C-alpha cells in the first residue's frame, strides 16, 4: 500500500513538472527574440558588470519579460571581410544565426576605422550588405536595424591611441551606415550622433562607453523599437 502511494505521488509530481516545463517553454518561445550584433562596445568591454550593465543587458531590462535580448558582441572584430578580424569568422556570428532572431541590431564598424583596415565607404557598405542579407535569409525572417558606430575621442583621451581607431573615419563609417539604411529601406539609429557630445561616456579609454553611455545607447535603441511597434 505504501509503495502504491509513493508511486502515485511520484506520478503526480512527474506530470506537474512536465506541465510546468511546458508552460515555461511556451512562454520563452513566444518572446520576441532580439540579437545584438557588434564589437566590444556591444559586448560591454570595460564595463565591470557586463551581464547587467552592457547596452544589450540594459535594453533587455527596459523591454521586459516579453522579450529575449542576447548579446553577440565580439571584442576587436570588424564588419569588413578584408579586415584583420571579420565578425563572420567569430563563433558569436554563428550563434547569432542559430538564435533565430526576430530582430537583429547591428552595431559594427569601429574597428574597421583602423588605418590598416579601412579601404573606403563603398567597400564598407558592400560587406555590410552581405552581412545584412545573411540575417534576412534566415527562416525567422528578422527585421534588421542598423546602428552607426559610436563617436570616439582619441584627441581627448590618450589611452585611446593604442587602438589606432580614427575619429574622422568613424564619422565616415556612420555616414555610410545611414546611407545604406536609406538605400535598403532599413531602420537606422545614429549612435554616433547620440554620443558625439558626451565625452564623459568614454572617460576610461576614449573608445568604450561606460555604464552611463551604455544606458544612453540602450535607451535610444528602446525608443526606436517602440517607434517601430515592437
Q: What is the pLDDT of residue 211?
A: 98
Each residue's pLDDT, cut to its tens digit, for the chain (230 residues) gives 556 555 655 656 554 554 454 444 444 457 999 999 999 999 999 999 999 999 999 999 999 999 999 999 999 999 999 999 999 999 999 999 999 999 999 999 999 999 999 999 999 999 999 999 999 999 999 999 999 999 998 765 554 557 889 999 999 999 999 999 999 999 999 999 999 999 999 988 899 999 999 999 999 999 999 999 99
Do residues 195 and 216 make contact, with C-beta atoms less than 8 angstroms apart? yes
CA end-to-end span of the chain, whole Å? 56
98: Cβ contacts below 8 Å, ≥ 6 apart: none
Do residues 113 and 134 make contact, with C-beta atoms less than 8 angstroms apart? no
**Angle CA 169–174–103, to nearest 5:** 140
Strand order in the sheet with 32-38: 67-73, 32-38, 103-107, 143-147, 188-189
Report helix, strand or coil for 66: coil
Q: What is the pLDDT of residue 12?
A: 64
Read off the pTM. 0.86
Closest C-alpha among 139, 143, 229 to residue 186: 143
Q: What is the pLDDT of residue 17?
A: 52
Q: What is the pLDDT of residue 29?
A: 57
Q: What is the pLDDT of residue 18?
A: 47
CATH fold of 32-227 reads: Rossmann fold (3.40.50)
- Domains of the chain: which residue ranges? 1-30, 32-227
Amino acid at each position: 500500500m505504501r509503495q502504491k502511494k509513493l508511486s502515485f505521488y511520484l506520478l503526480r509530481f512527474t506530470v506537474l513538472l512536465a506541465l510546468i516545463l511546458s508552460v515555461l517553454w511556451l512562454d520563452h518561445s513566444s518572446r520576441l527574440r532580439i540579437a545584438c550584433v557588434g564589437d566590444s562596445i556591444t559586448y560591454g568591454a570595460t564595463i565591470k558588470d557586463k551581464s547587467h550593465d552592457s547596452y544589450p543587458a540594459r535594453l533587455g531590462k527596459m523591454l521586459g519579460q516579453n522579450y529575449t535580448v542576447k548579446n553577440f558582441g565580439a571584442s576587436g572584430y570588424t564588419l569588413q571581410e578584408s579586415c584583420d578580424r571579420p565578425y563572420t569568422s567569430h563563433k558569436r556570428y554563428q550563434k547569432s544565426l542559430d538564435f533565430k532572431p526576430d530582430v537583429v541590431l547591428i552595431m559594427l564598424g569601429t574597428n574597421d576605422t583602423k588605418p590598416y583596415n579601412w579601404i573606403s565607404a563603398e567597400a564598407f557598405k558592400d560587406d555590410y550588405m552581405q552581412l545584412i542579407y545573411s540575417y534576412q535569409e534566415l527562416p525567422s525572417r528578422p527585421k534588421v536595424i542598423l546602428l552607426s558606430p559610436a563617436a570616439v575621442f582619441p584627441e581627448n583621451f590618450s589611452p585611446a591611441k593604442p587602438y589606432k581607431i580614427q575619429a574622422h573615419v568613424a564619422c565616415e563609417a556612420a555616414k555610410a551606415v545611414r546611407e545604406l539604411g536609406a538605400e535598403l529601406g532599413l531602420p537606422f539609429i545614429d549612435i554616433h550622433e547620440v554620443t558625439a557630445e558626451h565625452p564623459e561616456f568614454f572617460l576610461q579609454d576614449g573608445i568604450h562607453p561606460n555604464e552611463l553611455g551604455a544606458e544612453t545607447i540602450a535607451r535610444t535603441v528602446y525608443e526606436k523599437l517602440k517607434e517601430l511597434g515592437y
